[in-house]
Amino acid sequence: MDDVFDGALRRQSPLIVDGSMATELERQGVDTASALWSATALVDSPRIIRDVHRAYFEAGANIAITDSYQANVPAFEKLGLSGKQSRRLIAVAAEEAIAAREEYRRAHTDDETADRPLVVAGSVGPYGAFLADGSEYTGDYALSDAEYRDFHRPRMQALADAGVDLFAFETMPNIGEVRALVGLLNDEFAGTQAWVSFSLQDAGHLCDGTPLKKAVAELDGNPQIAAIGVNCVPPETVSPAVHIIRRATSKPIIAYPNNGDVYHPGTKTWTPNPGGLDIARLASEWFAEGATIIGGCCRTTPDDIRRVASALRDVSYQGMETGRTNQPR
């Protein structure tokens, strides 16, 4: 099994993750205020999804995360779709990201970015996202191992069959669900890797209270886990969390926070935070702390990712000049 990030990080470190899908869909007129959230566009506006992915590639992203975070068979079945139709829509999420990558490559065959690594990660959001009550930020739910596997299996199979490079087990608040997902990965997707990024209640604990250091240590020896980190946390939480993660694993560390705005699950709205910290300004700090895969999550935009990429390009260049490059441990 090839390591997805090993070769990519040797060619470019850090790698840049894309930003929010939902924010960009909303800007283009897609109504995401439903239980499906950004996955609504898979039903009505798949071409816009491709355009958003392409915009992030143009902004400097190396990694596109598919629009499947909240796309799962039970959610689509609530709309009256069949299981087969639901799995097809999940596949579309992967296909649009892959098509955007190919469009980008065709448009840049002769410039200096032509050979930079481009990765498509199949988003696998937590069961709490399906509940659509904000519990991906609390972890306040519990299924059996078998129930978690039955919930996630169809989406993972559809994404794998459509050709994603790896899975993104993202915004994971609950250690029981992570264990079930990793077990499913090992038992039924032996040729595929995943990253695991946690949702946190504070820098040292998952939302369900599990110590972050303990959760990371459980994953460290698993060869199918390509990277470990955090996402959709406030920007100020990233550095202390990365510090903890770095002490518990030798794997690449991934970090892609939200922009610091405050989410209200009841109304599915955000309150802007004028005092929120600038992720582009902090990105070099995260890199210095040990993160080698860096980007943005909710409420971040292609402009944010462009500035993150620029800031990290400058830091990487300075490191090359001085011999102090930050390679994965």
* pLDDT tens digit sequence for 160-191: 999 999 999 999 999 999 999 999 999 999 99
| Residue among 305, 320, 307, 327 nearest 16 (CA) | 305
Compute the distance between CA of residue 314 and CA of residue 280 in angstroms, rounded to an integer.
12
Angle in degrees, 0-180, between the axes of helices 83-107 and 46-59, rounded to the nearest 10: 40
The answer to whether 26 touches 49, Cβ cutoff 8 Å, is: no
297 is in an annotated binding site: yes
Residue 325: DSSP 8-state:
-
- pLDDT tens by residue, 307-322: 999 999 877 644 444 3
pLDDT at 324 over 70: no
Pair of tokens at residue 145: 């191992």
Q: Is 181 inside any structural domain?
A: yes
Residue 66: DSSP 8-state:
P
| Overall domain count for the chain | 1
Compute the distance between CA of residue 324 and CA of residue 319 in angstroms, rounded to an integer.
4
232 is in an annotated binding site: yes
The answer to whether 317 touches 300, Cβ cutoff 8 Å, is: no
298 is in an annotated binding site: yes
- What is the pTM for the complete model shown? 0.93
Q: Residue 307 maps to which CATH number?
A: 3.20.20.330
The answer to whether 294 touches 308, Cβ cutoff 8 Å, is: yes
Instruction: Give pLDDT, residue 321.
Output: 40
Q: Is 327 inside any structural domain?
A: no
Q: Is 36 inside any structural domain?
A: yes
Q: Is 329 inside any structural domain?
A: no
Q: Is 213 inside any structural domain?
A: yes
- Who contacts 298 (Cβ-Cβ below 8 Å, separation ≥6)? 20, 22, 23, 232, 258, 259, 261, 263, 270
Q: Is 328 inside any structural domain?
A: no
Q: Is 191 inside any structural domain?
A: yes
Compute the distance between CA of residue 319 and CA of residue 124 in angstroms, rounded to an integer.
34
- Who contacts 27 (Cβ-Cβ below 8 Å, separation ≥6)? none
Residue-range definition of the domain harbouring residue 35:
4-322
Q: What are 291's strand-pairing partners? A: 253
Compute the distance between CA of residue 199 and CA of residue 129 in angstroms, rounded to an integer.
12
- pLDDT tens by residue, 234-278: 999 999 999 999 999 999 999 999 987 777 666 667 777 776 778
Q: Is 218 inside any structural domain?
A: yes
- pLDDT tens by residue, 105-162: 999 998 888 889 999 999 999 999 999 888 999 999 999 999 999 999 999 999 999 9
